[in-house]
Amino acid sequence: MTININRTEKLVAALPKGKLLKPTFDLLQKAGFTFNEADQKSRKLIIEDENRAMQALFVKPSDVPIYVEHGIADFGIVGKDSLVESCVDVFTPLELDFGQCNLAIAGFPEDQDRNWRLRSLVRVATKYPNITRVHFDKLGVQAEIISLHGSVELGVLAGLADVIVDIVETGTTLKENGLVVFDEILPAMAMFIVNKASHKLKLRQLDAVISAIANS
Ligand code: PRP
């Protein structure tokens, strides 16, 4: 059965596919919105909770802010890293207690010792070109930013870049590839974000969800 997005009555949520999805469903359940397990694991892109009070859109994490800013979703759950990178205009009423990580500069240990900042031009591979540009401008280090979409660590290993700017969560990916953190740029966590118009039009429903989450 196909579900159309119902923007007038129900709350519409943009949920991030990947690592944040399971804790996001757990959080929504605590707030009173239970989604069928089979739907949660399915390839469907729009699902509804058991009470048909909320529709959830499965979205690539970096696209969550876009769906919320454009009002397709009333609210979304997204990592602060993706939120800051997207530069969108949304409300951010809640930081959540999962998805903790750091956006960091990393590379080979020998480059850290050699002071990589003194290069005349540093090649930086990243999924976060906006944050990286601002940070390197602040450092006063001239950078060539190379945008990648995944496996960013490979950029340094394969010689495409001198350093990376990427998420470090457990540190396993860096460790297993012989890389180390040089500097931390941004501590990040999952965030609850709200469309500005929805905040007025669906204030009662959104406040109920926010309170339920805050008190869970
Ligand atoms: C993220 C990030 C790092 C890794 C860090 O990648 O880009 O590669 O997780 O996690 P760790 O510190 O726990 O090892 P993700 O798994 O989202 O996939 P990607 O490489 O395809 O972007």
DSSP line for 1-70: -------SSSEEEEEE-STTHHHHHHHHHHTT----HHHHTSS-SEEE-TTSSEEEEEE-GGGHHHHHHT
- Cα–ligand 1 centroid distance for 26 (angstroms): 22
- Residues 166 and 171: their CA atoms lie apart, in Å, by 11
pLDDT of residue 114: 74
**pLDDT bucket at 167, cuts 50 / 70 / 90:** very high
**Does 140 contact ligand 1 (Cβ within 6 A)?**
no
On whether residue 149 sits in a domain, the answer given is yes
Same domain? For 209 and 174 the reply is no
Q: Is residue 6 part of a domain?
A: no
> pLDDT tens for residues 89-111?
999 999 999 999 999 999 999 99
CA-nearest of 105, 108, 74, 80 to 94 is 80
Domain that holds residue 67: 11-99+189-214
pLDDT at 112: 85
Question: What is the per-residue pLDDT for 53?
Answer: 92
Nearest CA to ligand 1 atom 7: 167
19-68, pLDDT tens digit by residue? 999 999 999 999 999 999 999 888 999 999 999 999 999 999 999 999 99
Angle subtended at Cα 80 by Cα 108 and Cα 11, rounded to the nearest 5 degrees: 150
Count of domains for the chain? 2
For the Cβ of 34 lying below 6 angstroms from any atom of ligand 1, the answer is: no
Least confident of 31-40, 61-70, 155-164, 170-179: 31-40
Does the pLDDT value for residue 70 go beyond 80? yes
- What pTM value is reported for the model? 0.92
Q: 81 CB less than 6 Å from ligand 1?
A: no
Answer yes or no: do 54 and 120 share one domain. no
Residue 102 Cα, ligand 1 centroid: separation in angstroms? 11
